[in-house]
Amino acid sequence: MTKKFDMTIEENLQKRILVLDGAMGTMIQKHNLKEEDYKGERFKNHPCALKGNNDLLSITHPEIIKKIHCEYLKAGADIIETNTFSSTSIAMADYQMEDLAYELNYESAKIAREAAQEYSIKTPNRPRYAAGSIGPTNKTASMSPEVNDPGYRAVDFDQLVVAYREQVTGLIDGGADILLVETIFDTLNAKAALYAIDEIKQEKEINIPVMVSGTITDASGRTLSGQTVEAFNISLSHISLLSIGFNCALGATQLLPYIKTLANQSPLFISAHPNAGLPNAFGEYDQSPEEMKILVQDYLEQNLVNIIGGCCGTTPEHISLIADLARKFSPRKPKIFSNVRD
Distances (CA, A) of 149 to 144, 145, 153, 154, 159: 7, 8, 9, 11, 20
As a three-state string, the secondary structure of 61-80 is CHHHHHHHHHHHHHHCCCEE
Q: What is the pLDDT of residue 147?
A: 87
β-strand partners of 243: 211, 269
Q: What is the pLDDT of residue 337?
A: 43
| Sign of the dihedral defined by the CA atoms of residues 164, 215, 256, 229, in that order | negative
| Closest C-alpha among 7, 25, 18 to residue 73 | 18
Please tell me whether residue 210 adopts helix, strand or coil conformation: strand
Q: Give me the chain's average pLDDT, please.
A: 95
Q: Backbone dihedral region of 147: left (phi > 0), alpha (psi from -120 to 50 degrees) or beta?
A: alpha
Q: What is the pLDDT of residue 4?
A: 54
Q: What is the pLDDT along the chain (342 residues), one digit of tens a residue?
A: 445 566 799 999 999 999 999 999 999 999 999 999 999 999 999 999 999 999 999 999 999 999 999 999 999 999 999 999 999 999 999 999 999 999 999 999 999 999 999 999 999 999 999 999 999 999 999 999 998 999 999 999 999 999 999 999 999 999 999 999 999 999 999 999 999 999 999 999 999 999 999 999 999 999 999 999 999 999 999 999 999 999 999 999 999 999 999 999 999 999 999 999 999 999 999 999 999 999 999 999 999 999 999 999 999 999 999 999 999 999 999 875 444 443
The DSSP output letter for 330 is: P
Decide: residue 279, CB within 10 A, 0-12 exposed, 13-18 middle, 19+ buried: middle
Where are any strands of DSSP class E within the chain?
18-19, 79-81, 129-134, 178-184, 210-214, 243-251, 269-275, 307-308
Topology of domain 9-326 in CATH is TIM Barrel (3.20.20)
* CA separation for the pair 316, 254 (Å, rounded): 22
| Closest C-alpha among 243, 135, 225, 131 to residue 179 | 131
DSSP 90-115: HHHGGGT-GGGHHHHHHHHHHHHHHH
* CA separation for the pair 152, 136 (Å, rounded): 18
> Who's near 68: CB < 8 A, 6+ residues apart?
24, 27, 28
Q: What is the pLDDT of residue 334?
A: 84
